[in-house]
Structure 1
Amino acid sequence: MFSLVQRCCYSTPFKLHKFTGAGLLLHGKNKTTCPSPSLRLRRDVSLLSRSPSFNPASLYATKLQAFHTSLPFFKKKTPRDSEIKKPGVLERSMESLKDAPKPALYLSLAGLIPFVSVPLAMAIQGTYYPELAFAQVTYGAVTVSFLGGMRWGFALPEKSPAKPDWLNLANSTVPPIFAWQALLLKDITSGAVMLVMALGIALHYDISLLPDYPRWFKVLRVVGTVVMVLSLLATAALKAVSEMELSDSRNKWQSSK
C-alpha cells in the first residue's frame, strides 16, 4: 500500500490525473478511505483548472451574450389589450359619416348654410336685422316640414319595415304643424323656440321610432339638428341683446331730457 501511494505522489502528470479519477471512484465507493494531503492538493488544483468559470471560451461567450442583450428600459414594450385606447362614441359616430353617400352628405351640409349665415352675419356687423331673422325662421319651417314628410316616403314602399299605419303617417304631420305655428307667430323668438321643438320631435322620430335607418343617416341627422338649433338660438340671443341695447339707449335719452 505504501509503495502504491509513493508511486502516485512522484509519477508524471498524466498518471496523476489518471489516478485522481481512480481515487475519486475509490472514495465514492469507500467513504472511510482518506487520501494523502499531497494527493488532495493535486486533486484540488486539477479541479480548479477544469472549472468552467476560468475557461476563456466560456468568458468570451458570456461577454458576447451580455453585449447582444439590450437593457430592459431599451426594449420596446408592446401595449396590452387593456392599455390600447378604443375609440369613443363620438369618434365612431364621425367615422360612420365616411359610409354616407357623397350627394346626401354634401347636400345636407349645404342645407345648413342658411341657418349659420344669418346669425354669423349679424354678429360680424354688430346689428340685428329682423328681415334676416324672419328669413331664417321661414327656411327653418320649410326644413322641418321636409323632415316630417320623409316618414311618408319611408313607410309607403311595400318592402319597408315601417307600416303605413296611423302612428307613422300621423307623426309625420306633427313637425309641419309646428312649422306653421312658427310662421304665424309675430315674435321671432317665439317662432325660433317653436322650430326648436319641432326639430327635436323630428329627431326623436328618426332616431328612436325608426331604428332601420343606416347609422350614417342618424349621425347626419344629429349633427344637422344641433347646428340648426344652435343657429336659431343664436338669432334669438342676438335679438334679445339688441332689444336690451335699444332700451338702454331710450332710458339714457329720456334721462338726458
Structure 2
Amino acid sequence: MFSHILRRCFHTPFKLQRNVCPLSRSPSLNPASVYATKLQAFHTSPPFFKKKTPKESETKDLGVLQRSMKSLKDSPKPALYLSLAGLIPFVSVPLLMVIQGTYSPELAFAQITYGAVTVSFLGGKRWGFALPENSPAKPDWLNLANSTVPPLFAWQALLFKDATRGAIMLVMALGIALHYDLSLLPTYPGWFKVLRVVGTVVMVLSLLATAALKTISEEQLGNRRNKWQNTKQ
C-alpha cells in the first residue's frame, strides 16, 4: 500500500509536466507568425522616406500663384490701372502687324521709342525712392548711379537703325531694372514687385514678338526676290 502511494506521488509531477508543456508554448514562437511579423516590419516604411506626390507639388505652385495674385489685387487701383494701361502701346504694335499681315518699320520704331521712355522712367524712379530723408535707401553712389544704367541702355537702343537690335537692348534694360527693383531694393511692397514682374514679362514678349515679325517679313521678302530672279532667268 505504501509503495503504491509513493509511486503515485512520484509519477504525478511528470504527468502534469507533460500536460502543461504544450500549453506553455507562446503563440509568438510559432514560425509562421514570426515570419509574418518580419514581413510586416520589412514592408513598413517611415513617413519621411515617402516621395512627394505630384499633387503636393502642384498644390505648392498653386499656393505661390494664389499669393501673387492676392498681392496684385491688394495694389492701389491707380497704380494697377495705370500700369496695365501703360502696356497697351507694347502689345498693340505686334497685334496690329499680325492683323494687317505686314511688318511696319514705323510701328516698330514707335514701340522702341516708347520702350526707351518706359525704361528711363523705371530707372529714374529710384531717385525718388532714395532722396526722401526717411527712405530706407540712401542717396549714395550705388543707388543713384545704378539708376542711370537703364536710361543709357534705352538711349543706345534708339541709336540702332535695326529694330531687332533695339528690341534686344531694351530687353536687357528691362531685365536690369527688374533686378534692381526685386533684389537691391527689397523694401518695396509685395504688390509692386508682382506688378513689376507682370509688366516686364508683357513688355519683353511684345518686343520679342515685333523682332520675330521683322525676321519673318525679311525671310518672306527674300524668298520672293529669289523666285522673281529665278523666273526672270
Q: TM-score range by the shorter chain?
A: 0.7 to 0.9
Query: Which residue of 2 is the match for residue 172 of structure 1?
Result: 147
- C-alpha deviation, 1:186, in angstroms: 0.5
Q: Does 1:253 align with 2:228?
A: yes
- C-alpha deviation, 1:256, in angstroms: 0.4
Distance 2:102 2:188 in 1: 42
Q: Which blocks of at least 5 consecutive residues in structure 1 are unaligned?
A: 1-81
The letter for the 1-side match of 2:163 is: I
Query: Which residue of 1 is the match for residue 129 of structure 2?
Result: 154
**Alignment equivalent of 2:79, drawn from 80, 101, 104:** 104
Q: Does 1:228 align with 2:203?
A: yes
Q: Does 1:143 align with 2:86?
A: no
Q: Alignment RMSD, CA only?
A: 1.0
Q: Does 1:116 align with 2:91?
A: yes
Alignment of 1:9-20 (within 5 A): none
Q: Deviations over 1:104-136 (max 9, x none)?
A: 000000000000000001011110000000000
- C-alpha deviation, 1:95, in angstroms: 1.1
Q: In structure 1, the residue corresponding to 2:156 is in which secondary structure? A: helix
Q: How many residues align?
A: 174
- C-alpha deviation, 1:249, in angstroms: 0.1
Query: Which residue of 2 is the match for residue 128 of structure 1?
Result: 103
Alignment of 1:1-257 (within 5 A): 85=59, 87-257=62-232
Quote the sequence identity (%). 83
Q: Which blocks of at least 5 consecutive residues in structure 2 are unaligned?
A: 1-55
- C-alpha deviation, 1:244, in angstroms: 0.1
Which structure: larger Rg?
Answer: 1
Distance 1:143 1:88 in 2: 32
Query: Which residue of 1 is the match for residue 13 of structure 2?
Result: none
- C-alpha deviation, 1:98, in angstroms: 1.4
Flag the structure with higher helix content: 2
Q: Deviations over 1:167-198 (max 9, x none)?
A: 00000000000000000010000000000000
Q: Deviations over 1:187-246 (max 9, x none)?
A: 000000000000000000000000000000000000000000000000000000000000
Distance 2:178 2:110 in 1: 23
Distance 2:212 2:66 in 1: 31
Using the size of structure 2 for normalisation, the TM-score is: 0.73
